[in-house]
Each structure stands twice: as structure tokens, then as C-alpha cells.
A = this chain, B = another copy of it.
Amino acid sequence: MSTDLTRAHAVALDAADPLGALVDEFDIAPGTIYLAGNSLGPLPRAAATAVADAVREQWGRGLVTSWNKAGWFDLPYRMGDAIAALVGADAGEVVMTDSTGINLFKMVAAATALNPDRRVIVMEGSNFPTNNYVVQGLTRWLGQGHEIRFAESHELIDAIGDDVAVVALTHTHYKSAHILDMAALTARAHAVGALTVWDLCHSAGAMPVALNACDADFAIGCTYKYLNGGPGSPGFAFAAARHHAALDQPLTGWWSHRAPFAFDRDFAPTEGIGRLLTGTQPILSMVAAQAGLELATRAGSDAARAKSMALGALFVDLMAARLPDAGFRLASPRDIAARGGHVAYDHADGYPLMKALISRGVIGDFRAPSTLRFGLSPLYLRYADIWDAVDRLADVVESGLWRAPEFQTAEKVT
């Protein structure tokens, strides 16, 4: 526990924060403390400018010529290279495209094809379940008898046996923020002849990820959480260069064709990471994501992680000091090194508590049945914000504000 939990000390930490200058790069309403960046990151000021320019100049004036002149065609590759640098991949190993779920479909399919004699796919059952839904859809349609072996984090090593084709895991857990050991699990997978697909949705931008150092095979991730890319900004997909020559996935289209403007009747795959593309991408949403990527790049993953851990430690310490007996149970690893960019607490009255806290300007989120999540994103949060957030939560609890009728309704809290 920190020795000094005063607000003055938090302010002093801000004054010494090497990432402090980035805070003003985000456009967050005065008085709002935004702790839901693990769900949707806030607006980088430069994103608003870039989107306005893309709309009025690139679309409005450049029109169809902007596909070349404004580099729209190349965005998946250029954005992919920027993401690659943040997740421990090399240039040419990542593309930005489509949605997280669609990319997972592609990558798990690709992995099964490279391991055709096995039928087991290991996944974490408690993971954000869209991953399960995607792989359930894939395996059902492949019709080759693939089955998902669900295991929880402590069971994973044992679940990865020599019947396993693919290990498809989320690096940082969406609810608990528990970080899986990518190096150990990938090594285990490879030792038994399996391939890995890592979901980096809750990792990219929040911490360094070492895809190539861990010898990861494939990965996917999202850009609207810690990369602050905007609502529903396209996802990304990684394939290690050693797999490119044999890379194959079901969603082939003209963007993955060797000569997209030759209009050949039949498909022939391009070389390299472009094989993961399908069709025309939502350019305005991609352009919006550039600013956030640039800020994450400027911060650097190591510095982001260091501050994220410090913010998390302060939050947990303040919760213990201010609300020791209020029914909050830490639902994330206490070990900072095992915990990602957010902190989760269970509370029997989590739903009205979060609604009341939001009414006080502290925006976190709630996941049924009882989990409050607090995203502690390092690029735009101040240490003083953390202090104020816990202070307001303590006030919500101690004043009984959360018992007010308007916070009990069943309207969804995202």
C-alpha cells in the first residue's frame, strides 16, 4: 500500500508524470472522470480534426480519387504497421480491418487449416463470450468435428494436450483483467503441436505485448478501447511472418487478391498479410483511429503500462482505505503484474452504485450480475482523477445516494 494517500500526493504524482502532457490531447468534458476507456476510449482532439478533414476534403473534394491520393487503399497496412509496433510484431505482420469477431473467425479458421489433423480448440469459457460465439459458428460450419475445450485460466496448461489444434485465448480478461502468460501458454501450445490465436482487445495500448518474442502465431484485437480509435473502429489481425506463405482464410475478396484491379474472374491470393483482407473498409472509422494510435505510439507501451499499474495500485489502495467495509470485493488479481488496465470489484448493489456514481460524473461500467469495472487508462487519466473518483464513490456510498429510486431501474448500463 502506498504510504501517502492524500490528494496532495496524487497531484504531486501528476506533476512528475512523464505522460502528463498527453492528457490535454484528449477532449473530455470538465468534471468528467472517465473510467470506461476499457470499453470505449475517449476522443483524441486530433481525431475530430482528422475526421472533419477526411469528410470535407478527402471525401468532399478528393472524391473517388482519394482512394489513391489520400491513401485510403493503404490504410489497413499503414495502420497495421503502427499497431504492430505496439504489440511486439514487425511491419507487414498486422492489418487493420473489419471487426474483432470477423477477424477471430479468419484467424481461428487459418489456424485450423494449418493443423488439419487435430480437432480441439482450447478457449477460456469465462472470456468475453463473443469469442465463443464466433468459434462456435466457425466449427459448426466447418463441419469437420472440431470441438471447443473450455477451461479457466488455472486449467489452461493442462487443457492444452496433444490433441489440440488451436489455442484461442484472450490475453487480458475482459472482466477480471487477469493477464494470461502468453509466453508460457504459447510455449505449451507449441510443445504439443498446437497453434495460438491471441485476442489482444484488452491489452493493446494498455501494456507492451510481445507477440513475436512469445513466438505467437496469430492474434486479433480491437482499437476502440485502449487505443482510443472511436466507436466501433475496425479491429486488427496479426499473422507471424513465418505463416504467411501458407496463410489461408475463408473470407477472401478483392482486397486479398493478387491483382485487385485486374478484375480476374478467379481468386488468387496476394502475398503477405494482405491475405487477411476481404473487401472495402469503413474509411472514416479508420481515419478516426489514427489519432489514438499516434498518441499510444508517442506514449510507448512501457510507459503506458508503468502508469497504468501505478494508477491501479492507487485505486486499489484508496478503495481499501476509504471503503474497507462497504461490501466491495476485489474481482481482479491483487498482484499488479497479473492485472491489466482495469480493476473490477464485485458488489451486491453494483448496479445502482454504478448508476449513482455515473450521476456524479465518474463513468465506469457494470457487468451483470455484480461487477463494477474501472478502466484506468494511462494516457488521459491523472492521479488526481483516481483520487477524486474514489472520493466520489465513497460519497455515493456514505450518503446513501445510490439508494435513490432513479438508480434502481433496469435500464442497461454499458
- Residues on B with C-beta less than 8 A from A55 are 43, 47-48, 51-52, 230, 288
Does residue A408 face the partner (Cβ distance < 8 Å to B)? no
How far apart sit A143 and B139, CA to CA, in the bound complex (Å)?
A: 13
CB within 8 Å of B: which A89-136 residues: 98-102, 105, 109, 125-126, 128-130, 132-134, 136
Asked if residues A252 and B136 are in contact (CB atoms below 8 Å), the reply is: yes
- Residues on B with C-beta less than 8 A from A333 are none
Asked if residues B368 and A261 are in contact (CB atoms below 8 Å), the reply is: yes
Q: A101-B254, A279-B102, A281-B99 are in contact. Are A230 and B36 (CB under 8 A)?
A: no
Choose one: B40, B284, B363; the contact of A288 (CB below 8 Å). Answer: B284
Does residue A27 face the partner (Cβ distance < 8 Å to B)? yes
- Residues on B with C-beta less than 8 A from A128 are 254, 263
- Residues on B with C-beta less than 8 A from A286 are 232
Does residue A72 face the partner (Cβ distance < 8 Å to B)? yes
Asked if residues B101 and A99 are in contact (CB atoms below 8 Å), the reply is: no
Asked if residues A251 and B137 are in contact (CB atoms below 8 Å), the reply is: yes
Asked if residues B48 and A63 are in contact (CB atoms below 8 Å), the reply is: no
Interface stretch among A16-24, A211-219, A264-272, A312-320? A264-272
Q: Report A376-397 CB contacts with B as 1/0, cut-off 8 Å.
A: 0000000000000000000000
Asked if residues A56 and B72 are in contact (CB atoms below 8 Å), the reply is: no
- Residues on B with C-beta less than 8 A from A2 are none
Asked if residues B101 and A414 are in contact (CB atoms below 8 Å), the reply is: no
Asked if residues A125 and B231 are in contact (CB atoms below 8 Å), the reply is: no
- Residues on B with C-beta less than 8 A from A267 are 129, 132-133, 136-137
Choose one: B63, B132, B222; the contact of A266 (CB below 8 Å). Answer: B132
Q: Report A298-324 CB contacts with B as 1/0, cut-off 8 Å.
A: 000000000000000000000000000
Asked if residues B36 and A231 are in contact (CB atoms below 8 Å), the reply is: no
How far apart sit A28 and B60, CA to CA, in the bound complex (Å)?
A: 6
Asked if residues A56 and B43 are in contact (CB atoms below 8 Å), the reply is: yes
Asked if residues A251 and B134 are in contact (CB atoms below 8 Å), the reply is: yes
Whose C-beta in chain B lies nearest to the C-beta of A47?
B55
Asked if residues B101 and A102 are in contact (CB atoms below 8 Å), the reply is: no
- Residues on B with C-beta less than 8 A from A36 are 63-64
Whose C-beta in chain B lies nearest to the C-beta of A285?
B282
Asked if residues A283 and B231 are in contact (CB atoms below 8 Å), the reply is: yes
How far apart sit A414 and B66, CA to CA, in the bound complex (Å)?
A: 9
Whose C-beta in chain B lies nearest to the C-beta of A411?
B68
Asked if residues A278 and B101 are in contact (CB atoms below 8 Å), the reply is: yes
Does residue A6 face the partner (Cβ distance < 8 Å to B)? no
CB within 8 Å of B: which A134-177 residues: 134, 136-138, 140-144, 150
Does residue A365 face the partner (Cβ distance < 8 Å to B)? yes
Show 19 residue pairs from A and B whose CB-CB distance is below 8 angstroms, ordered by the A residue. Answer: A29-B61, A34-B63, A40-B64, A42-B63, A47-B55, A48-B52, A48-B56, A51-B55, A55-B230, A59-B230, A99-B279, A99-B282, A126-B265, A136-B266, A137-B253, A141-B142, A142-B143, A232-B286, A250-B250
Q: Interface on A for B, CB 8 Å cutoff? A: 27-29, 32, 34, 36, 39-40, 42-43, 47-48, 51-52, 55-56, 58-61, 63-68, 72, 98-102, 105, 109, 125-126, 128-130, 132-134, 136-138, 140-144, 150, 222, 224, 230-234, 249-254, 256-257, 261-267, 278-286, 288, 358, 363, 365, 367-368, 411-412, 414
Seed contacts A68-B414, A134-B251; 13 additional CB < 8 Å A-B pairs: A36-B64, A43-B59, A67-B231, A68-B411, A128-B263, A129-B254, A133-B252, A133-B267, A137-B252, A233-B282, A234-B282, A263-B368, A284-B285
